[in-house]
Amino acid sequence: MALTVFGLLGTHLDKGFGANRWERWRPTVSIFQHDELLVDRFVLLSSGEHSDLADRVERDVRSLSPETEVVHEPLELHDPWDFEEVYAALYDFARRTTFEEDHEYQVHISTGSHVAQICMFLLCESRHLPASLLQTGPPRRGTSPGGTYAVIDLDLQRYDQLAARYDNEHSTALAFLKAGIETRSTTFNRLIERIEQVAIASDAPILLTGPTGAGKSQLARRIYALKKERRQVTGPLVEVNCATLRGDGAMSTLFGHVRGSFTGADRDRAGLLRSAHGGVLFLDEIGELGADEQAMLLRAIEEKRWLPVGADREVEAEFQLLAGSNRDLRAEVSTGRFREDLLARIDLWHFRLPGLAERREDIEPNLDYELEQWARRTGRRVGFNREARQNFLEFGRGPAGAWRANFRDLNAAVTRMATLAGGRRIDTDLVDEEVGRLRQSWEGQGSAQSSHIRGLLGDARAAELDRFDRVQLEEVLRVCQLAPSMSAAGRELFAVSRKKKKSHNDADRLRKYLMRFGLSWSEL
C-alpha cells in the first residue's frame, strides 16, 4: 500500500547550509533517513516567502529517497500563532484534498508552531485528514543520525474555539440525514440527532423499525452516505429486502456458494455479505428471514466469518449492519419466529421511525420536497395556487388524513397531481379529485381490515360496534391469527401489563375479552 506523508515546513528546524547541514537534525529530512520508512509521496506545506528553504529541503529529500515524489502545497499564514487562521487554512486544505482508498496517510507533527500541531491533531481525530500521526525526534545516544520516529494516535480534547465549526458540521450532518427537509417535529429532530451521533461514533448494528413507507430505506442510504463522506467506510452499500429471499436460494444469496454445491451452481458466488466488505449491509425486513438464515447471520455478525453453501473453508468480511423491519421483533421472538439472541445482537441501537400520520406538522415541508423531486425527475416545475395548497394541507393534517402508506402515499399524490396539472399550477379541482382518491383508497384498506370482523360477528353485530371497539378488536384478531396458541397471543397483547402482575393469566384475559363479542379461540 502506497504511503503519503503530509508535513509542514520547519522554518527554523529544517534550516541547513553547506556540507554541515547533514550534521544537524532536521525533522522533515529525518523522515527519509530511516530505511524501513518508505514514503511514496511527500506533500510539503509551506508559504511562498520560504520557497528557497522548501526547495533546499526537497533537494535533500530527493538525494536520500529518489523514489519519493515531493509535492509543494501552498499554505499562506499571516500569523502562525492565530488559532482560527491556522485551523481554517488546514481545514480548507483537508477538504480540497482527494484521498485514495488504497493509500495510507500520515501527518508529520514535529514541525510548525504548536498551534499548527494542535490543529493537525484535531483534523486527524475528526477524520478530516484520514491519517495516522508521524512524530520524529532528534537522535539519542545509540540511535541513527536520522533520530527517532513513531506512528501514534492521540486522543485530544476539543477546544472551545472550534465549537462553532463543529456545531455547523453537526447541523449539516443532521440536514443530510433528513434529505435536506427542515422537519418541524421536535421529536423527529431529536431522533435524527441521536441517529447522527451513533452513525458517526459507532460501527455496531443499527435497527430501524417503523411502518411501511416511513423512510427506513432512505435513511439507511443517508447513513451510509454520511459515513462514506466522513471516510469511515470504504466499501459499498449492499441492500436487500429479505422478504424477497425464499427457499434454498436465500442462503446462497446472503452467504454465497461454491461451484457444484447444488444443481445450477455452475460458478462460485460471493454472496451479499462478502460484497459488503468494508462497507454497509442493509437488510430490510430482517424479520422475514428463515430460521437457518438467522442462525448463520448471527455468527457472521459476531465473528465476521461464515461458511458459504457447499464450502469446506470459511470466508471473512468486515461490514456494518443496518437492519430494517416493520414488524415488532420482540413480539416475533415471543411467538418463536425470530431468534432472541439475534435480536439482542442487532438491537444495541434501535430507532423507530414514526409514520407520516404521527408527524402531521411535517406534511408541508415534505410536500415541498416531493414537488422539488418531481421537478428534478421531469425537468418541469409545478406548484399549487394558494387555495389549492391550503385545501390539501388542511386535509392532510386533519383527522381524515390516514396516510396508511406514509410517505409513499404523499409521493404518489404529488406525482398524480403534478402529472395532471400538465405544466399548469395545481388548482382546487385537482386537489379535490386527489383527496377523493386518497379517501377511497384508505376506506378500501379499512374495509379489508374489518372484513374478518363482519365474517365472525355478522354484518348487524359488527355495525353495532363503536369505532374504538372495532379498531381494538381488529388488532386483537390480527395477533391471534399469527400466534400459535392462545397463551402466545396473550403474551404479545398484554406484554406490558403482565410485567406488573405476580401471576400471569394471559390466556384467561384473552378468553374473557373474546367472550365480550361472543367469540372463542377455536372460532379464530
Output the nine-digit C-alpha cell for 377. Answer: 425527475
Q: How far apart are CA 455 and CA 365, in angstroms?
A: 42
Task: Please state the length of the chain.
Answer: 524
Give 439's contacts (C-beta < 8 A, 6+ positions apart).
Answer: 400
Q: 383-401: b or e for each residue (b if 16 or more CB lie within 10 Å)?
A: ebeeebbebbbebbeeeeb
What are the chain's domains?
2-157 (3.40.50.10770), 165-352 (3.40.50.300), 357-447 (1.10.8.60), 465-515 (no CATH)
- Specify the long-range contacts of residues 70-78, CB closer than 8 Å, at least 24 apart: 70/42, 70/44, 71/41, 71/42, 71/43, 71/44, 72/44, 72/46, 73/6, 73/43, 73/44, 73/45, 73/46, 74/45, 74/46, 74/47, 74/48, 75/8, 75/45, 75/46, 75/47, 76/47, 76/48, 77/47
Residue numbers in the chain where pLDDT is lower than 70: 17-19, 142-144, 153-175, 179-181, 444-452, 459, 482, 502-503
Question: Are 273 and 254 a contacting pair, CB within 8 Å?
Answer: yes
For residue range 435-485, what is the model confidence (pLDDT) as tens digits?
A: 999 998 887 665 555 566 777 777 677 777 887 888 888 888 877 776 778
For residue range 403-443, what is the model confidence (pLDDT) as tens digits?
A: 988 989 999 999 999 999 987 899 999 999 999 999 988 87
Closest of 155, 148, 123, 116 to residue 134, by C-alpha: 148
pLDDT of residue 160: 47
Angle at 347 between CA 345 and CA 349, to 5 degrees: 120
Give 348's contacts (C-beta < 8 A, 6+ positions apart).
Answer: 204, 205, 206
Q: How far apart are CA 468 and CA 453, in angstroms?
A: 14
Question: Are 95 and 82 a contacting pair, CB within 8 Å?
Answer: no
